[in-house]
Amino acid sequence: MMRTITQSVLALSLVVGAAGCANTARGAVKDTKDNASAIRGGMETIDVKTAIIADKTIDSGAIDVDTYQDKKVVVLRGTVPTDAQKAKAEQIARQNATGYTIDNRLVVRQ
């Protein structure tokens, strides 16, 4: 009788442990996908910001670029001195963040 109880407890422990390992593996896969998504979003931010900085017709010192990979959105924030620079920054973002929506929240301040 004691042996049967011990075997039952051991079997139950193995089942619970296996379920826990499966959940851990699923969690690791999800974390890896989330991290890869964050990296892709970060790369879009770098690509857009670098292209805006490289364009010498734009005063890029007060422009912030944020990317929301999960929504596929690049947001431009900050200030520029002219409407033309605002439009040019948006154009550059569109060219460098293919497949993303561009949300241009730049404010023109002279």
Segment 63-92, tens digit of pLDDT:
999 999 889 999 999 999 999 999 999 999
pLDDT band at 36 (very low <50, low <70, confident <90, very high): low
Which of 5-9, 27-31, 66-70, 97-101 is predicted with the least confidence, judged by mean pLDDT? 27-31
Helices (H) and strands (E) in the chain, counts: 2, 3
- Within 1-110, strands assigned E span 63-68, 73-80, 101-108
Domain boundaries, the chain: 2-108
- Give all strands of the β-sheet with 101-108 in edge-to-edge order: 63-68, 73-80, 101-108
Greatest alpha-carbon span in the chain: 88
